[in-house]
């Protein structure tokens, strides 16, 4: 019979926590026996059959790394290598969750207090062993469907996602409109040694939940007062491939113009902008000297769905947070003209009929001047 060496290693670090009142409800007594870091890799199992595009962009692994004080949660997909990432950091001493956003230009973390799981669960008599650890079984109702959760108390921290249960979840379900139904299943547990910097928020700008909400409100109020850094200056270089496989390199488009839009799919204003960008595309249809291009912050898969739903007829690309940061865009939708000299000659936030006429007039005038 094959021995499970994972359980042997873990039992050197963990003991079953004693039932009783704890000063910190998110830690069990055995947490102090964690000498090094532990990394758990979860496989993401989807109920539906993924198409080729979804297989590339949907998460296929979740890695949870922790010690007795901190936990870091990261999701990975075959196309994870982006210049913009989001992960979660849990501080078990302060009982704070930080949603961290990291790009080339900034690092931001929004803090939330630990909260009891909102999804009620009923403990069952059945148990299950996962990676050599005994797990209790719970039944939860997730979006109207009974689902199974397995958690263990042999790990010193409480990690329950949004479920009202005890222990550390090793198998649990999920549901979303984007991904449908599925579950996370622990498939590998390793003891690792990591530098303290892995759990550090150094160089991050930290907001409370309330401060972040106020920041976004203030940002919307100040759109009309924004002075754009690159106006009348050389635009940062664009080098990318659109969803339609068009290669765009602004360095090679000197002498031509780009109407460049920045958007994200969940914005109502960005959705409204589609009508006007379609109008521009129709105006310049067949004109190789003008490119209408929209860069979305979202995953390409979401952009593809948005494109089909809204009837976009111009070039689009996804996962463009890095370019938004490079262009220092923080209001959406933002639309720029990069003229034939590679200079940002116009910028507007929001997009309506008046803006559309202004953009077309400016681009047309520039086309006339170079003929």
In this predicted model, what pLDDT tens digit does every residue of 179-190 receive, in sequence order?
A: 899 999 999 999
The number of angstroms, rounded, from the C-alpha of 77 to the middle of its chain's C-alpha atoms is 12
Q: What is the pLDDT of residue 219?
A: 52
Whole-number Å distance between alpha carbons of 185 and 173: 9
In this predicted model, what pLDDT tens digit does every residue of 219-245 receive, in sequence order?
A: 554 444 456 788 899 999 999 999 999
Contact in structure between 235 and 248 (CB atoms under 8 Å): no
Neighbouring-strand partners of residue 344: 231, 338
Task: Assign 11 a pLDDT band (cuts: 50, 70, 90).
Answer: very low
- The pLDDT of 18-46, averaged and rounded, is 82
Distances (CA, A) of 111 to 23, 104, 105, 108, 199: 22, 21, 20, 10, 14
Q: Quick one: what percent of the chain has pLDDT higher than 70?
A: 87
DSSP label at residue 21: -
Task: Assign 287 a pLDDT band (cuts: 50, 70, 90).
Answer: very high
Task: Assign 107 a pLDDT band (cuts: 50, 70, 90).
Answer: confident
Whole-number Å distance between alpha carbons of 69 and 66: 7
Lowest mean pLDDT, pick from 22-31, 120-129, 192-201: 22-31
- The pLDDT of 344-350, averaged and rounded, is 91
Whole-number Å distance between alpha carbons of 262 and 362: 19
Note the pTM of the prediction, 2 decimals: 0.67
Distances (CA, A) of 23 to 68, 71, 131, 196: 15, 19, 29, 25
Whole-number Å distance between alpha carbons of 323 and 240: 10
What is the architecture of the domain spanning 226-370? 3-Layer(aba) Sandwich (3.40)
Query: Most confidently modeled of 50-54, 137-141, 330-334?
Result: 137-141
The number of angstroms, rounded, from the C-alpha of 40 to the middle of its chain's C-alpha atoms is 20
Q: What is the pLDDT of residue 108?
A: 87
Lowest mean pLDDT, pick from 150-164, 206-220, 259-273: 206-220
- The pLDDT of 290-301, averaged and rounded, is 94
Whole-number Å distance between alpha carbons of 339 and 237: 13
Domain residue ranges of the chain, discontinuous segments joined by +: 5-216, 226-370
Q: What is the pLDDT of residue 84?
A: 52
Sign of the Cα pseudo-torsion (323, 326, 331, 337, in order): negative
- The pLDDT of 155-174, averaged and rounded, is 96
Lowest mean pLDDT, pick from 7-16, 160-169, 259-268, 323-332: 7-16
Contact in structure between 295 and 261 (CB atoms under 8 Å): yes
More confident residue, 78 or 265: 265
Nearest-CA neighbor of 166 among 41, 32, 18, 39?
18
The number of angstroms, rounded, from the C-alpha of 235 to the middle of its chain's C-alpha atoms is 26
Burial of 20 (0-12, 13-18, 19+ CB in 10 A): exposed
Task: Assign 173 a pLDDT band (cuts: 50, 70, 90).
Answer: very high
Whole-number Å distance between alpha carbons of 351 and 294: 13
Q: What is the pLDDT of residue 217?
A: 59
Residue 45, pLDDT above cutoff 50 = yes
Q: Quick one: what percent of the chain has pLDDT higher than 90?
A: 65
More confident residue, 87 or 3: 87
Please report how many Cα atoms fall inside a 13 Å half-sphere around the Cα of residue 341, on the Cβ side.
Answer: 9
Nearest-CA neighbor of 361 among 350, 343, 345, 349?
345
Whole-number Å distance between alpha carbons of 317 and 262: 10
Whole-number Å distance between alpha carbons of 366 and 371: 9
Please name the residue ranges forming H helices in 33-125.
52-57
Residue 1, pLDDT above cutoff 90 = no
Beta strands 119-130 and 163-164: pairing type? parallel
Q: What is the CA radius of gyration of the chain?
A: 25
Residue 16, pLDDT above cutoff 60 = no
φ and ψ of 248, to 5 deg: -120, 125
Beta strands 334-338 and 133-142: pairing type? unpaired
Nearest-CA neighbor of 200 among 102, 269, 320?
102
Choose the CATH number for 5-216 among 1.25.40, 2.50.20, 2.60.40, 1.10.600. 2.50.20
DSSP reduced 3-state for 320:
coil
Task: Assign 291 a pLDDT band (cuts: 50, 70, 90).
Answer: very high
Task: Assign 13 a pLDDT band (cuts: 50, 70, 90).
Answer: very low
Residue 341, pLDDT above cutoff 50 = yes
Count of C-beta atoms within a 10 Å radius of residue 86: 14
- The pLDDT of 234-260, averaged and rounded, is 93
The number of angstroms, rounded, from the C-alpha of 88 to the middle of its chain's C-alpha atoms is 10
């Amino acid at each position: 019979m094959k021995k499970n060496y994972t359980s042997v290693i873990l039992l050197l670090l963990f003991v079953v926590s004693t039932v009783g009142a704890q000063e910190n409800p998110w830690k069990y007594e055995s947490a102090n026996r964690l000498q090094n870091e532990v990394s758990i890799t979860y496989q993401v199992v989807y109920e539906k059959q993924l198409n080729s595009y979804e297989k590339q962009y949907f998460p296929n692994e979740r890695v949870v790394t922790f010690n007795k004080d901190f936990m870091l949660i990261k999701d990975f997909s075959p196309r994870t290598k982006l210049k913009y990432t989001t992960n979660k950091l849990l501080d078990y001493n302060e009982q704070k969750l930080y949603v961290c956003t990291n790009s080339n230009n900034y690092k931001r973390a929004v803090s939330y207090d630990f909260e009891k799981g909102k999804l009620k669960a009923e403990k069952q008599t059945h148990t299950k062993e996962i990676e050599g650890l005994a797990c209790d079984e719970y039944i939860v109702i997730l979006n109207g469907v009974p689902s199974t959760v397995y958690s263990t108390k042999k790990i010193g921290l409480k990690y329950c996602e949004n479920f009202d249960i005890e222990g550390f979840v090793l198998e649990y379900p999920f549901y979303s409109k984007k991904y449908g139904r599925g579950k996370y299943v622990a498939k590998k547990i390793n003891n690792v040694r990591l530098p303290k910097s892995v759990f550090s928020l150094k160089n991050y700008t930290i907001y409370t939940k309330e401060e972040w909400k106020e920041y976004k409100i203030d940002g919307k109020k100040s759109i009309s007062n924004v002075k754009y850094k690159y106006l009348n200056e050389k635009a940062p270089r664009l080098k990318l491939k659109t969803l339609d496989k068009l290669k765009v390199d602004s360095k090679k488009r000197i002498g031509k113009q780009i109407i460049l839009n920045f958007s994200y799919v969940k914005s109502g204003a960005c959705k409204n902008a589609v009508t006007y960008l379609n109008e521009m595309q129709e105006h310049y249809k067949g004109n190789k000297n003008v490119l209408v291009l929209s860069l979305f912050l979202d995953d390409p898969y979401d952009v593809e769905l948005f494109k089909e739903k809204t009837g976009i007829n111009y070039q689009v690309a996804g996962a463009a947070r890095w370019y938004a940061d490079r262009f220092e865009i923080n209001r959406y939708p933002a639309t720029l003209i990069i003229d034939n000299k590679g200079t940002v000659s116009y910028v507007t936030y929001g997009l309506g009929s008046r803006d559309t006429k202004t953009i077309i007039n400016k681009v047309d005038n520039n086309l006339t001047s170079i003929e």
